[in-house]
Amino acid sequence: MSNNVSEMTLIKGGFFTIGTTQGVSTSTADDYNQITFGHPYALTSFPMIFADSSWVKPSELFNNHPQILSQSQDTLSLFFTDSTRFEARFYIVQQNSGSTVKFIFRLKNIDNTSHQLGLGFNFDPSIGNNGDGFADINSVFIQKDTVINSAIPSSFELWERDSSPKGIGVELSFASGSPSQLTLGNWNELQNGSLTTNQNLRWLYDLLVQAKWPSQTVNSNQQIEYSIDLNFLQPDFSTTPFQRWDMPSFLSLEDSVVFPLEYSSNVEVYNPQSTPSTGLTIQLTDSGMVDHWSSQNAFTVNGTSNKVIEIPVVTTEWFNDTIFDVFLKLKQNGIVTDLLKRRVFMPASPFSNTGLDVNIDSVSTANYPEIQVFFDALNNNTGQVINKLKKINIFPEEDNSGIQNFTLEKDTAGGVNQADIVFILDVTGSMSNEIADVRDNIAEFADSLIQNGIDVRLGMVTFRDQIADIYPLSSDVLAFQQIVAQQTAQGGDDYPENSLDALNAGCQMSFRPAANRIFIWITDATYHIAPSPWTNLTVNDVVTSLISNSVKVYAIGDATLQAQWFDQIVMNSGGDFYDINGNFRDVMLQISRLPGSNKYVMKYNSSATLSQLHTIKVEVHYRGLGGYDIATVNFVNSLHLVSYFPNPAKEVVQMNISNPESKHCSILISDEAGRKLKLLDVGNAAVINWNCFAADIGDSGIKPGLYLFHVLLTDDKNVTEKETVKIVFIK
């Protein structure tokens, strides 16, 4: 049943839902919103009956007995009876043009003997759109489960939010007298019969309002009754945009894994102003339960309308039942205008000791008291390498004592964990097909990187005779795809174009320190070179900028121009060239095949005695599986093992290695992407002086670029210390 203000539904068993149609305000923000949770078949809001010894649902008491639903002009009603003991009537009535909904429940004793009877009411609020509900009693929001047995208020309020703006609100008023007990608790606990005694889990994340009137002796042909009024309050909407979010209030366990761990959620941003709100961004803050996320590109919401923004949610496993406050910040031109809190229950992940193969690769004590432990983990059943471990998954020990304070990072010296990729894109008139190719293949390109364990960000510089636009690096692949789709190929009927300024502008991006930096340079034209009215840059200027910023350039261009116009930039940066007339999808996927880093480094400060053997244990728990490895290490206090000169170098690097215990020393050389180029045995002298010639590395020497030198010192117990240095070779 509905009218211009509200809508209500009643089904057999007495289960009901209430919602708005147009609401009580002129704002569209209270149109078509929930007041109670979900569809009535969710079976979460209903009257209750105390019959002689226990509280039951009407659906249980009158199971397999007549239940008659009826509807009049303003009333939905349900009649129950078991024909011998009880009959009950439950009414939901729209009053005051729909702005008040009255609940009436009557229970009559039709038996020839007396019974101990009582009435109750379960109300599962879900105020607003994709929210829950917060109870406000005497102007105080109730944050933890609460049982009130005395001085129960005659009315209280339920609001969409527990801070300003409060959004949609209703008042529950006990029209026929206050109950003897009012309980505000989490739905699953009250449904199971009791509230938790764990103080850390008493926070309200899924509110259920439960009212109980005292049981009493009811003689034959007598009845008891209560009535409750639900009054729609004027909504509290701010004058600036505010948010609603479909983040669930609790997660679950599916096949021993927290569900959902990763999913796309939707944020509804409502603008109450009559004019468009511009410059809006959203930020999901890291609360320990979810990963940080922020929209890199601003958006606009038209006046008195809403906009839905899709945001990825990546949750973290937790090994104790925990309740988190998760926050969304809405910013306008960098200033926070709305802060939305969602409280979420995270169940404890299963804690198994088998299923994972954990391997401690090496332990470095070179920076004592800091200890660095290098390790990896894989699934025993599938052989899959685990590349998404977080600190919560790691349980380290030193000499059988837990290590509480430690950091966990990817060991990027062994491969690439992050990639900052910038498209340097010619948007002149002849490039329409290539712009479409980037748009159509960017999602698969990013997916290929992500599947390989790469944390990727995408940016772009567009150019013609001058730079057209610069789009900062962003992890939002969908938003980046939309930016590419907005590009139009126009102008540029004459060669050359301004690739050099565009490449140089890309070098000014805010790169992450450990990220592999890649430019994908797409053009079918030659480029301006200084002296020129269009640029003051030479090719050497750009190559120097690329190398100093550790940028590798992959060019997609006209093959007839490769030798003269592309090779000097591509080869000096360590990249590659592809024919613009080739299969663009294959080219993109080939570029995406970066080796991900599967090793982790755990760092902590130790107070263990020097020059003695100590045991280090790394235990890992991940998605219902577990495993551990133990290493025995002699802690040695030393300065950095390796010194080197010069850096950058042209032909040779002089390397000095301190090896006071005469351990066996080897050096593994790899390129920036982690590809192994050479393994050298350099002896076991106490001090090793070694000259590295660029011409001796690889089959035909090495190209200019960044290289990783892994110095490994291994003792007679096969315990290895490792130190990695980065050296740049230039022409």
Q: Per-residue pLDDT tens for 264-280?
A: 899 999 999 999 999 99
- pLDDT surpassing 90 at residue 9: yes
Same domain, 184 and 112: yes
CATH number at residue 303: 2.60.40.10
Residue 585 confidence (pLDDT):
83
Edge-to-edge strands, sheet with 370-379: 356-364, 370-379, 600-605, 407-410
Partners of residue 590 on adjacent β-strands: none
- pLDDT surpassing 60 at residue 415: no
Nearest to 604 by CA among 359, 373, 400: 373
Residue 78 confidence (pLDDT):
97
- pLDDT surpassing 50 at residue 173: yes
Is 186 in contact with 205 (CB distance < 8 Å)?
A: yes
Out of 152-161, 178-187, 470-479, 520-529, least confident range: 470-479
- pLDDT surpassing 70 at residue 602: yes
pLDDT band at 724 (very low <50, low <70, confident <90, very high): confident
The reply to whether omega before 648 is within 30° of 0 (cis) is: yes
Same domain, 469 and 521: yes
- Give me the domain span that covers residue 371: 353-412+597-637
Residue indicated by tokens 């004793």: 109
Same domain, 603 and 654: no
Distance CA 36, CA 45 (A): 7
Same domain, 478 and 333: no
- pLDDT surpassing 80 at residue 365: yes
Same domain, 357 and 340: no
* Contacts (Cβ under 8 Å, ≥6 apart) of 425: 431, 434, 435, 438, 460, 461, 462, 463, 487, 522, 523
Residue 412 confidence (pLDDT):
65
Q: Report yes or no on 365 lying in a domain.
A: yes
pLDDT band at 193 (very low <50, low <70, confident <90, very high): confident
CATH number at residue 361: 2.60.40
Q: Report yes or no on 690 lying in a domain.
A: yes
Residue 674 confidence (pLDDT):
62
DSSP 477-503: HHHHHHHHHT-------SS-B-HHHHH
Average pLDDT over residues 671-699: 83
Tokens representing 29?
């923000």
Residue 639 confidence (pLDDT):
47
Buried b (16+ CB within 10 A) or exposed e, 322-358: bbbebebbbbbeeeebbbbebbbbbbebbeeeebbbb
Q: Report yes or no on 237 lying in a domain.
A: no
Same domain, 459 and 515: yes
Provide the number of structural domains found in the chain.
Answer: 5
Which tens digits make up the pLDDT trace of 537-574?
999 899 988 988 889 999 999 999 999 999 989 988 87
User: 416 versus 67: which is more confidently predicted?
Assistant: 67
Helices (H) and strands (E) in the chain, counts: 8, 51
Average pLDDT over residues 587-594: 78
Same domain, 168 and 81: yes
Residue 259 confidence (pLDDT):
85
Q: How remote is the C-alpha of 282 from its chain's centroid?
A: 13
Q: Report yes or no on 514 lying in a domain.
A: yes
Residue 703 confidence (pLDDT):
76
| Domain end residue (candidates: 288, 322, 346) | 346
CATH number at residue 484: 3.40.50.410
User: Among positive and negative, which fits the CA dihedral 18, 20, 25, 31?
Assistant: positive
Q: What is the helix (H) or strand (E) element at residue 536, kind and residue range? A: none
Distance CA 628, CA 691 (A): 40
Phi, psi for residue 648 in degrees, rounded to 5: -70, 160
In whole numbers, what is the pLDDT of the chain averaged over residues?
A: 89
Nearest to 178 by CA among 226, 219, 137: 226
CATH number at residue 662: 2.60.40.2550
- pLDDT surpassing 90 at residue 260: no
Q: Report yes or no on 1 lying in a domain.
A: no
Tokens representing 398?
């030193």
Partners of residue 157 on adjacent β-strands: 136, 171
Q: What is the total residue count of the chain? A: 731
Same domain, 699 and 632: no
State pTM to two decimals.
Answer: 0.71
User: 212 versus 612: which is more confidently predicted?
Assistant: 212
The neighbour count for residue 85, using CB atoms within 10 Å, is 16
Average pLDDT over residues 717-723: 77
Same domain, 557 and 498: yes
| Domain end residue (candidates: 571, 605, 637) | 637
- Four-CA torsion 518, 520, 525, 530, nearest 10 degrees: -20
Residue 706 confidence (pLDDT):
76
Same domain, 214 and 95: yes
Same domain, 692 and 604: no
Is 359 in contact with 627 (CB distance < 8 Å)?
A: no
Partners of residue 396 on adjacent β-strands: 618
| Domain end residue (candidates: 199, 232, 265) | 232
Same domain, 17 and 155: yes
Average pLDDT over residues 490-504: 86
CATH number at residue 36: 2.70.98.40
